[in-house]
Structure 1
Amino acid sequence: MIRLPDATGALRAYTPRAEPATFAPGRPPLASRVVYSAAHVVADPFADTTPDGPAVVDWETTLAFRHHLWSHGLGVAEAMDTAQRGMGLDWAGAAELIRRSGAEARAVGGLIACGVGTDQLTGPATLAEVRAAYEEQLAVVEETGARPILMASRALAASAGGPEDYLEIYGALLRQSARPVILHWLGPMFDPALAGYWGSDDLDRATDTFLAIIEANAEKVDGVKVSLLDAGREVALRRRLPAGVRCYTGDDFHYPELIAGDEQGYSDALLGIFDPLGPLAAEAVRALDAQDRDGFRKLLDPTVPLSRHLFQTPTRYYKTGVVLLAWLAGHQEHFTMVGGLQSARSLPHLARAYELADGLGLFPDPERARARMAGLLAVQGVDA
C-alpha cells in the first residue's frame, strides 16, 4: 500500500497491482502500421551543470532505452520534442544524440527517424539563415542513414512573412533531400512559439499551405506527423494527402481510433506516449496485424486516461511524466532531467501518473516502482 497526495493536499491509500502486464520482446516486426516512439533522453545526475547550461547526457542509459524500444519492434523517433529539443537539449547535444542513435540503429537494424530543426539559431534570423540552419541539420541526419523529420521551426515562425516563405523554405529543403522525409506539424499547445505556423492562425488556411508543399513535392515526402490534438482535423487532412504519403498521428489524446482507422484509411504513429507504452503499444499493433481490431482497442483504449493526464495543459511539460515513468519502470536509476525539468509537474500530478501507469501494469517490478514513488514522496515531506 502507498498513500498518494491529491490536489487538495489530502492523502489517500492506493494498493499497487501485484503483477505487471507482460509483453515479451523479440516478436516479429510490426506489419500493419509503421510505428515510431519518440524517445526521451536520460540526464547524467552527477553533472555539475545548471538549468540553462548545456545538457549532460547519460549516453549508455539513453541508448539502452532505444534498444528496449527496438526489441519490441518499434521505431525510434530521435531528437524530437520528447528528447527535450529546445527545452534543455541544445543542437550540439541533439547532433551527438543523432549520431550515436544512428550508429546503434545500423548495428541492430532498428528503424529510426531523426529530427531536423533550426535550434542552433538563438536569436532573430533571416530566412536565409533559417534555411542554412535546416540544411546543416539535414546533412547530419542524412550522414547517419536515418530518415529525416523536418520539424517545425521557431525561427521560421518568427521570421516568415506569410505562406509563401514556408513554401520557399520547405520546397528548397525537399528538393535537396536525399530520401523522402517526414514533415512535422507541431501545434502551439506543444510549443507556443509555433502559433501561426504555415503562415496563418486560421487552421484551414494553414492546412491548405501545408498540403500545397506536400503536393508539389510528394515524391520527397514519406509522411506527415500531425500533433494538433484534433482527431477530426487529422482525419480530414489524412483523406487529402497524395497517394503514398503516410499520416503519422501525433495525437496523444485520440491515437487508438486514429491508428485503427476507418473505411477510408488509417494513421500510422509517431507518438511521445509510446515512450512509456512501448511494449503494450507493440502488442496492440500486432493485434491489428492479425486483423483483430477489437483486440487492438481492448489493449490500447485503457491507456488513453494516462496519456491525457501526462499531456494535460501545459502540454509541453509531458516530458516530466514520461521520464518519471521510465524511472519507476527501472529503465534508469534516477528522476533527474536535463534542464531541471523534473520540477515542471506538481507532486499530485506525478502521483496520479504513477497510479494510472501501475493500473495498466506498465512497471516490470511493481514493488520497485512503489518504493521509488514512496521515496520521491518522502523527499517532499509525504509519509507514504
Structure 2
Amino acid sequence: MALTLTLPTADGSLSPYALRGSVPAKPPAGVKFNRIAYSAAHVVADPLAVVDPWLQAAVDWDTTIAYRQHLWSLGLGVAEAMDTAQRGMGLDWPTSLELIRRSLDAAKDVPGALVASGCGTDHLNLDEVKNVDDVIRGYEEQMAAIEKLGGKLIVMASRALARVAKSPADYERVYDRILSQAKQPVVLHWLGEMFDPALAGYWGTSNVDAAMDTAVGIIAAHPDKVDGIKISLLDKDKEIAMRRRLPSGVRMYTGDDFNYAELIAGDGQGSEPMHGQSDALLGIFDAIAPAASSALGELAQGNVDKFHAILGPTVPLSRHIFAAPTRFYKTGVVFMAWLNGHQKHFTMVGGQQSTRSLQHFAELFRLADAANVLEKPELAVQRMKTLLAINGVE
C-alpha cells in the first residue's frame, strides 16, 4: 500500500500525495570511483544547548561526525567547514577549527578517507580590514592552524578581500603569497555572488571572463601548489571553458549544483584528459550521498547510462534546493538529513531552518521522492507530517 500524506500545492491549497519513488541505489562495499568526489558536509546543531541561536553556534559533535563517517563509508570525501557547514552563516571560525580537528581525527580511523578543509578570513572584523596585507594575515592565521593539524586546504573566497581589493593585481598578490607558502597542493574556491552576495566582483571584476583570466593566471604561476579549483557559478559553459584552460594536472572540481551530472560525466574534449571532465566538490552530495556514490561507481565501470539514470533524477531536486536566494540552500540539505534519519531534529545553527517556506519544503519532499533519495520513506512521511502539523496543516 502506498504511503500518502497531504501536502500544500503551488496555488496554496492542499492535496493528497502518494509516494512512488524507490529507496536510493546502494553502492557495493568498497565502491571505487574514477573521479575525486568531495561532499561539502553540513553540521548538526545541538537543540538542547543553552545559547542564543542567532548569535552563538552550538554543534552536536557526535552526530555531526557520524554523518562524516557515513559519507566516507560511501567512498565520498568530506569538504569540511565550507559554506554547506554554514561557514559565515552561523558557524564561526573557532567552531570551524574545532570541526576540522574532530573530522581529521575521525578520518584517521577510516582507510583512504579524504578530508579537505576550508581556510578563509572569516574571523576578521570587516570594518577593521583596511588593506590587502590585513587579508593576507587573516589567511595565514587560518592556514597555520589547519596545517598544524595536518589538514589539506581549500582556500575559500574572502569577503574581506572582495571588500578591499582595488584591482586584479591585489588578488594576484594575495594568492601568490598564500600558494607560495602552502605545505601541500590546495583547492581554490570561486564562489559566485548567488551563493554569497558579498563576493560580487571576485578576482577584481564583475566580468566573468576577465575574472577567469586572473584566476587561471594565478594557477598557472603555481601549478605545483594547486590540486584544483572549485567553481560555483551555476554556469556549465563557463566551467567547461575554464577547465580546458587549466594547467596539466590541475583539476576542475565542479561546484555547479544545477548541472553536475553532465559536467562530471564530461565531454572528453581538451588537450589533457582532465580537461574533458570535472571532478566534484558539491553541497548537493550531502543530500543525495547514496545515489551519488552509486552513480559514480557506475561511471567508473563505464556504465554511463546507469550513471545518468541514477544521478539525472536528482538534478531537479538540487535545482530546487539551490533556488534563489541560493545562499539558503543549506536549509534544504539539513532538511534532507532530517527526513532520512541522520539527525533527530530539524534545527540549524543560526536558526537557519526558518529561511525556506512550507511550500518550499513540500516541493522538496515531492522532488526527493521522484529522485529516489528518501532512504527511509516511512520515517520521511512521519517527519514531513510533523513539520506540516507545526505549521497548522493537520
TM-score by length of 1: 0.97
Aligned residue type for 1:347: L
Q: CA offsets per residue over residues 123-180 of structure 1, 9 Å max, x none?
A: 2313222111111111222123232000000000001111011000000000000000
Is residue 103–residue 144 contact of structure 1 (8 Å, CA) maintained in 2?
no
Q: CA offsets per residue over residues 85-144 of structure 1, 9 Å max, x none?
A: 000001011011011101111221311100000000122313222111111111222123
Counterpart of 1:214 (choices 212, 219, 226) is 219
- The alignment partner of 1:108 has SS state of coil
Distance 1:19 1:167 in 2: 49
Does residue 280 (structure 1) correspond to residue 320 (structure 2)? The answer is no
Q: CA offsets per residue over residues 314-355 of structure 1, 9 Å max, x none?
A: 000000011001001000000000000000000010111111
Question: Unaligned 5+ residue runs, structure 2?
Answer: 270-275
Equivalent residue, structure 2, for 1:291: 302
Does residue 302 (structure 1) correspond to residue 305 (structure 2)? The answer is no
Moved more, 49-58 or 278-287: 49-58
Distance 1:25 1:262 in 2: 27
Is residue 253–residue 279 contact of structure 2 (8 Å, CA) maintained in 1?
yes
Equivalent residue, structure 2, for 1:9: 12
- The alignment partner of 2:189 has SS state of strand
Equivalent residue, structure 1, for 2:272: none
Q: CA offsets per residue over residues 1-53 of structure 1, 9 Å max, x none?
A: 101112432111111247523415632332x1000000000000112222432
Rate the CA distance shift 1:258–1:203 in 2: closer, same or farther, 3 A. same
Is residue 138–residue 148 contact of structure 1 (8 Å, CA) maintained in 2?
yes
- Structure 1 residue runs of 4 or more that deviate by more than 6 Å after TM superposition: none
Total equivalences in the alignment = 382
Counterpart of 1:360 (choices 368, 371, 393) is 371
Equivalent residue, structure 2, for 1:242: 247
State the 1:263 CA deviation. 2.2
Mapping 1:1-384, distance limit 5 Å: 1-17=4-20, 19-24=22-27, 26-30=29-33, 32-109=34-111, 110-124=113-127, 125=129, 126-264=131-269, 265-383=276-394
TM-score by length of 2: 0.95
Distance 2:182 2:28 in 1: 34
Is residue 2–residue 370 contact of structure 1 (8 Å, CA) maintained in 2?
yes
Distance 2:21 2:124 in 1: 49
Distance 1:381 1:268 in 2: 43
Distance 1:107 1:142 in 2: 19
What CA RMSD, in Å, does the superposition of the two structures yield over aligned residues? 1.2
Question: Unaligned 5+ residue runs, structure 1?
Answer: none
Is residue 17–residue 366 contact of structure 1 (8 Å, CA) maintained in 2?
no
